Structure 1
Amino acid sequence: MATIKDVALRAGVSVTTVSHVVNDTRTVSAKGREQVQRAIRELGYVPSAVARSLKSNTTRTLGMLIPNSSNPYFAEIVRVVEDRCFGAGYTLVLCNTDDEPRRQGVYLQVLSQRRIDGLIVVSTGADAELPAMLAGLRMPTVLVDREIEDPACDLVETAHIQGGLIATRHLLSLGHRRIACIGGPAALLPSEQRIEGWRMALAEAGHSAESAQLLWHGGFTPQGGYEAMHALLRSAQRPSAVFVCNDLMAMGALRAAHESGLRVPDELSMVGFDDIELAAYASPPLTTVAQPKTRIGALAVDMLLERIDGRRQDGRKVLLQPELRVRGSTARHAGFPGPTAR
C-alpha cells in the first residue's frame, strides 16, 4: 500500500507539500498540486482518515443507534439518514442495540472512541442511565421517535397520541363500538402514547377502554402481534375492530385472525401504525397510520449538521403529524347505516 512518502517521491516534492494538497491546509502552486494529484492517482494512494481527523478535529462521520434492525420502520428511516449523510459528505456508522440497555451503553462508548462528529439515537425501551451517558459524550445528539429527559438533545418524532386518535376515530366512524387495542411493550413511551390516543377517542365517543379484555400488550414483532391477537380472540366478547400499535404486530395479528376463521375486514377490521412498505402488500392491504419517515430521517440529519456546524446551539423539538392510510383491512360494522365503501 502506497504511503505519503511514496507519493512525495513520485511527485518530486516534500512530504509536507503532499500533506498540504491532501488536507487543503496551505496554498500549493498549480504545478505542484498537479504533480501530487497525478502521483496519488498513479499509486492509488488513500489518505489516512485517522490522520486527517487529528489535523482537522473532525471525522466527517456520524453515528446512529437503532433498537431493531429487522423492523422495516427503522430500516426505512436509516436509508433516508444514510442518503442524507452521503449527500452532505458524511459517513454513517450504524449500531443495532436490539433494545438492550447494556448493548446501547457499549455502542455509545465505541462510537465515542471513533471520534464521531454527531449522533442520532432511537433509544431502547428502558434505560435510566441514557441521559447521563449522552451528557458525558458532549457531542451533538438528535433523538428520534423516543423522547428522553435531556434538554440538550434535539428531538424529532411523530405525534403518537394523535396517531392513536385518528386510527380509533376511523374505526368509530365505521360504526365499530367494541374496539380493542394491541400495544407494544409496556412502558415504551411511543406505544403508551398511541394507546392513550385510543383511550381518548373511545372516551370522546362515550365508550370505556378500561376492560382488561380490550387492551393487550406484545413485543413490537409479528410474533408479538400474533400471540396477542390469539389471546384477544379467546376473550368472552370478541371485538369487531382492533387498533394495533405497530405494522409488524399487525402482520402477525392478521395471521392469527385468519387461523381463527375470521375474515378481515368483513368480520374484523384492523388498523396498524407506521405504514411500512410491506403494509400495502398485506392480505388484505393494511389500513394504517403513516409516520412521515422521509421527513423524520432528513430532519434528524439536518438538525444534527446545524449543531455540528455551529449554526445553532439551543435544543430543538420537532413534532410531526401522522396521516391515516385507508386500505382494505377496515370496513363498516355490519348493520351500521352508511355507505358500503371501505
Structure 2
Amino acid sequence: MKPTIKDVARKANVSVATVSRVLNNQPGYSVETEKKVLEAIDELGYHPNALARGLVGKRTKTLGVLIPRISNMVSSQIMNGIEDAAHKNDHSVIICNTDNDGQKTMVYLDVLREKRVDGIIVVSEMLTEEYANKLVELKVPVILISTIDETGQFPHIKVNDEQAAYQATEYLISKGHKNIAMISGTPEDMVAGKPRLDGYKKALRENGLPVKEENIVFGDFWFDSGKECMERLLNNNQGITAIFVASDEMAAGALSTAYKSGIRVPEDISIIGFDNTQLAEMTIPPLTTVSQPFYQMGYKGLKLLLKAIKGKEVNSAILPHVIVERETVKKV
C-alpha cells in the first residue's frame, strides 16, 4: 500500500496538521520538526496528492491548456515552452486537444473546472463569446497565446501579425518583385487571416504597387490547402514573380505544386512563408519565412499565468518577429 499522510505523521511523531503545514509551506513548526517530517517523507517514499494539497492551500499547482492541434508544429513548439516553464515552477499541465471543435472545447472547460486548475492558457484559438463567458465563470486567470480576445478581458502574447506580413511583403519588394501574389488564411479569421492579409495589402499600397484581387487566394493554413491554392494561382494568373504565403504549411504545399508543375523555386517564382517551424528547414529548397518565437511565447505565457495566479497584474505582450532568409527568394 502507498504510504499516507497519517503514516508520515506517525513516523515523525507529529500531528497530521503539522505534516500538512510543512507540505504547504505554512508557518507553525520548528526547523527540527520540519527536518523530521521531510526525513519521514523520504524514508516512506510518500508522494502527496496534488489535488488534496491544493484543497488546503486553495491551489492544485495544475494548469489547463486548450490547444487546437497538438500534433501541429506551431502547437508543439508553444507546448514545449509551456511545459518547460511549468516544470521549472513545480506545476503540472493538463493538455486539451480541441480540434477546433466548439462542443469539444466546452466539454474540456467543464473538465478543467472539475480538476480545479489554478489557471488556463488558450493557444491559437479565437475566443468566441461563448468560450469567453465560460472562462469568466471558471473564475481563474486566463492567458491567450498566439490569439486574441476582442473583448479585451484576457491578456495575450503574440506577434504583430499585420506588421510581420507587411515586412514579408516589403522584403519581396526589396528584392525587385512587383507582381506579388498572396496565399492567405480565411479573411474571417481575426487572429491571423485578416491581419496578415491587411499587412500584405498595406505594403503593396505604400510601395506604389496595385492590389490585384485575382492575385489573392484563400486557404486554411494547412498543407493540402497550400497545394490547391497554388494550383489556382498558376491557372488563373500570368506574370507573378513572388508569393507571400500566410503559413509554412501552406508554403510547403505551394512548393509541392510548383515542383509537380515544373516551376522552379526561386528561379521561376519566389516564395516566402510565415511561422519558421521546423518544416521550413525541411522543404526543398529550404523556405525563407517570417519567424515567430513560439517557444518563448509558451514559456512567457506560462510565467505570466503564474504571476496572475498570485494576484499580480499582467499585461498583454507583443514579441518580436524576424525574417529568416533561406533559399526560396531571389532578387530580380
Q: TM-score, normalised by structure 1?
A: 0.89
Alignment partners' CA distance in 1, 2:288 and 2:4: 58
SS of residue in 2 equivalent to 1:266: coil
Shift of 1:64: 1.4
Q: How does 1:269-308 map to 2 (within 5 A)?
A: 269-308=270-309
Q: Give the corresponding residue for 1:192.
A: 194
Q: Give the corresponding residue for 2:114.
A: 113
Paired letter, 2:179: R
Q: Give the corresponding residue for 2:53.
A: 52
Identify which range, 103-112 or 16-25, moves more after superposition. 16-25
Paired letter, 2:200: W
Q: Give the corresponding residue for 1:122.
A: 123
Would you say how many aligned residue pairs link Structure 1 and Structure 2? 330
Q: Give the corresponding residue for 2:66.
A: 65
Alignment partners' CA distance in 2, 1:201 and 1:26: 60
2:127, 2:148 within 8 Å by CA — same for their partners in 1?
no
| 2:248 equivalent to 1:247 | yes
2:126, 2:149 within 8 Å by CA — same for their partners in 1?
no
Shift of 1:236: 4.1
Paired letter, 2:189: L
Paired letter, 2:115: R
Q: Give the corresponding residue for 1:177.
A: 178
Q: Give the corresponding residue for 1:330.
A: 329
Alignment partners' CA distance in 2, 1:144 and 1:23: 30
SS of residue in 2 equivalent to 1:94: strand
Q: TM-score, normalised by structure 2?
A: 0.92
Alignment partners' CA distance in 2, 1:302 and 1:38: 31
Alignment partners' CA distance in 1, 2:199 and 2:274: 12
Alignment partners' CA distance in 2, 1:99 and 1:223: 18
Unaligned runs of 5+ in 1: 334-342
SS of residue in 2 equivalent to 1:298: helix
Q: Give the corresponding residue for 1:162.
A: 163
| 2:204 equivalent to 1:202 | yes
Alignment partners' CA distance in 1, 2:322 and 2:201: 19
The 1:24/1:102 distance shift into structure 2, 3 A limit, reads same
Alignment partners' CA distance in 1, 2:227 and 2:304: 38
Alignment partners' CA distance in 1, 2:72 and 2:134: 25
The 1:61/1:150 distance shift into structure 2, 3 A limit, reads farther
Paired letter, 1:208: P
Paired letter, 1:39: A
SS of residue in 2 equivalent to 1:331: coil
Paired letter, 2:316: K
1:177-232: CA deviation from partner (whole Å, max 9, x where unpaired): 22111112341121211111111111123333242x31111222111111211222
Shift of 1:111: 1.2
Shift of 1:49: 1.6
Q: Give the corresponding residue for 1:83.
A: 84
Paired letter, 1:93: I
Identify which range, 270-279 or 136-145, moves more after superposition. 136-145
Unaligned runs of 5+ in 2: none
Identify which range, 49-58 or 177-186, moves more after superposition. 177-186
